[in-house]
Amino acid sequence: MLINFDKIQNLSDEYINNKPFPHIVIDDVIDPNLLNEIEAEIKSIEDWDDKKNFHGSIKKRILNSYEKFPNFTKKLINYLNNKRMLEVLENLTGEKALIPDPYFYGGGIHSTTRGGYLKVHADFNWHKKLKLFRRLNLLLYLSKDWKEEYKGNIEFWKEPFSKAEKSIFPKFGRLIIFTTDDNSFHGHPDPLQSPESIWRNSIALYYYSSIKPKKNFSGYRLGTDYVPVKNDNFQRVGKLRKIWGNIKYRLFPSKF
């Protein structure tokens, strides 16, 4: 069995009660031989779809074209998006009617190199093409040689953003699942200190639902809400985007 589904779904109480927002951290649920093959595939990728270079993220490469996913990577992603996995995620999180994103908008394979970062943020909550609400993030880490001194821990934050509430090492094969809402602020905001030859690799998958969230949803957010923490010198504009998103929804609902 490539994925130990039972181990994931039996953690629902822990998931719901974890702070600062519902989440779970799970190790050893995916076949290690498959993970080794995927790590090797990612190291060989040359044709990336995008590379981030702005205040929210730099030196982060993304491959989200399904037809370009390497073979073992595609096999695992298909498993993580299949009917059984959706049922497991619903049992784990309490979400209903989950749907994977066939466009991998913002997701797919992520790889960040030395000096790169992803600032603390809450993700967009509305998929304009699917007309669905984003409800879950799934992150799988795939850098076998990663060390603590390289930085790159994923951090969970909450307002007023005085300190990280949780810092999680991106251990090889580690799976993190969390609820996507107005309060799920996360990122790895410190520049990576890894050697040039060692990348911070992950697979990111997002799951959606047609059911409007009942909690921590203050409006349609089409963009990412980046927030300054520590010594960041950029301004937060996500709240303004959300206000504008709500105005547009009221004026032009057919375009949402």
Residue ranges per structural domain of the chain: 5-255
Residue 107 has pLDDT above 70, yes or no: yes
Quote the CA–CA distance of 143 and 104 in Å, as a whole number: 21
- Report the percentage of the chain scoring pLDDT > 70: 93
Higher per-residue confidence, 244 vs 217: 217
Instruction: Compute the average pLDDT of residues 166-173.
Output: 98
Residues 108 and 62: beta-carbon distance below 8 Å: yes
CA distances from 14 to 19, 140, 157, 177 (A): 10, 19, 18, 12
Higher per-residue confidence, 70 vs 241: 70
Residue 165 identity (one-letter amino acid): E
Average pLDDT, the chain: 94
pLDDT of residue 249: 61
**Which of 58-62, 119-123, 240-244 bottoms out in mean pLDDT, i.e. has the lowest?**
240-244
- Report the percentage of the chain scoring pLDDT > 90: 86
Banded pLDDT at 220 (limits 50, 70, 90): confident
Residue 131 has pLDDT above 70, yes or no: yes
pLDDT of residue 92: 97
pLDDT of residue 56: 96
Please name the residue that has the structure tokens 């905001």: 189
Residue 147 has pLDDT above 70, yes or no: yes
What dotted CATH number matches 5-255? 2.60.120.620
Banded pLDDT at 253 (limits 50, 70, 90): low
Higher per-residue confidence, 240 vs 235: 235
Instruction: Compute the average pLDDT of residues 154-176.
Output: 97
Quote the CA–CA distance of 252 and 84 in Å, as a whole number: 37
Beta strand pairing call for 185-188 and 154-157: antiparallel
The pTM for the full model equals 0.94
Burial 174-206 (b: 16+ CB within 10 A, else e): bbbbbbbbbbbbbbbbeebebeeebbbbbbbbb
Beta bridge partners of 126: 133
Banded pLDDT at 244 (limits 50, 70, 90): low
pLDDT of residue 31: 97
Structure tokens at 233: 């010198």
pLDDT of residue 154: 98
